[in-house]
Amino acid sequence: MVNETSTNAEAALAALRRRLPGTRVVTVRSPAELPAALDASAREAAVQGGVLGVLGGDGSVNAAVRTALDYDLPLAVFPGGAFNHFATAAGLPSVAEAAVALEEGEGSAVDVALIDEPDAHGPPKVFLNTFALGAYADLVHIREAARRWCGRPAATVLALSLVGGTVRPFTVRVDGTPRRLWLLFAGNGVYQHHSVRTLPARERLTSGRLDVRLLDADAREHHGRLPALLAEALDAPRVLPLPEQLLVARLELTGLRGLAYAYDGEAATGADALSLRTMPSALVLYRPVPWR
């Protein structure tokens, strides 16, 4: 499955056809077509005893993981987006290396994280990299709405200008404890540190833990860090540490009142409560072995 709207899809698809000429390729021309196309491809792969593959960025991979889990299929990931954080973390920085892992039958099971809305209909959302509440989530909402008519770079600049002057701290209950925060990040796996600009290497993809980082709005020394955090969205050359850390298998968030959130670069609006949890070693992924 190839998402042709991904930033580097054309070059990545050419590389895929060279390396795996016998692969059946299905393309989509808009993100709206992706879920149905993935479902049809997965159904066929399940009948034939095959593999579900996806070429695209983190958003496309996220959608493919949900489908692979539904059909109990192994997944082959070929990086083809502007940001390929999950593929890189899995040891798949290029189409060539992903093709080698598939050809040689190398793979392992990796963790997947889920977002449950208790009152919502349908399956939980998947996140492979990070979940965020607060300023960055607001930025993603505006950026995704604007990028349809002005492209991602200009949309990011617009979102930064709008969010930077209006962002406010929010109050939420974290595992029942009231917290007043600028930001909350939760990573699928343990990260060395967090930054909006880039996602650093995870220790491994099989930790069975969420790496939760909090930026407290009541700590005076943190107030000046918010502009720096937002500047990270423009690839500013610095890293913002979020020092308060929780390592948990599950996190309960209540009192959200529809607060915006973001996951793997996608925007969403939540219910009053969200439950984040890990599914340890839930996804079978083709990747070089041994790996983290």
> Domain map of the chain by residue range?
2-105, 126-280
pLDDT value at position 241? 53
Q: What tokens appear for 215 in the block?
A: 């930026």
Contact in structure between 99 and 21 (CB atoms under 8 Å): no
Return the closest-CA partner of residue 248 out of 211, 204, 274, 275.
Answer: 211
- The CATH number that domain 126-280 falls under is 2.60.200.40
Residue located via tokens 């950026």: 143
CATH of 2-105, one of 1.20.120.550, 3.40.50.1820, 3.60.70.12, 3.40.50.10330: 3.40.50.10330
Q: Could you give phi then psi for residue 29, rounded to 5 degrees?
A: -105, 0
Residue with tokens 């505006």: 142
Tokens standing for 207? Answer: 């930790």
Query: Which helix (H) or strand (E) covers residue 19, if one does?
Result: helix 9-19
pLDDT at residue 203 in the model: 72
| Residue that the structure tokens 């967090």 belong to | 194
Count of CB atoms situated within 10 Å of the CB of 157: 15
Position 231 scores a pLDDT of: 46
- Provide the 8-state DSSP code for 203: S
Q: Tell me which residue has tokens 């107030």.
A: 223
- Interacting residues of 216 by C-beta distance below 8 A, sequence separation 6+: 179, 180, 181, 182, 222, 244
Q: What is the pLDDT of residue 292?
A: 56
For the record, the structure tokens of 152 come out as: 């991602």
- Do residues 193 and 200 make contact, with C-beta atoms less than 8 angstroms apart? yes
- Report the chain (292 residues): mean pLDDT per 10 consecutive residues: 71 85 83 90 92 91 95 94 85 90 92 90 88 75 70 69 69 95 87 55 86 78 50 44 82 90 82 94 90 56
pTM above threshold 0.75:
yes
For 182, phi and psi rounded to 5 degrees? -85, -40
Report pLDDT for 193: 58
Rounded CA-CA distance 183/140 in Å is: 13
Altogether, the residues listed in the chain come to a count of 292
DSSP string, 45-102: HHHHT--EEEEE-HHHHHHHHHHHHHHT--EEEEE-SS--HHHHHTT--SHHHHHHHH
| Strand, coil or helix: 212 | strand
The Cα-based distances of 216 to 54, 184, 260 in angstroms read 38, 9, 18
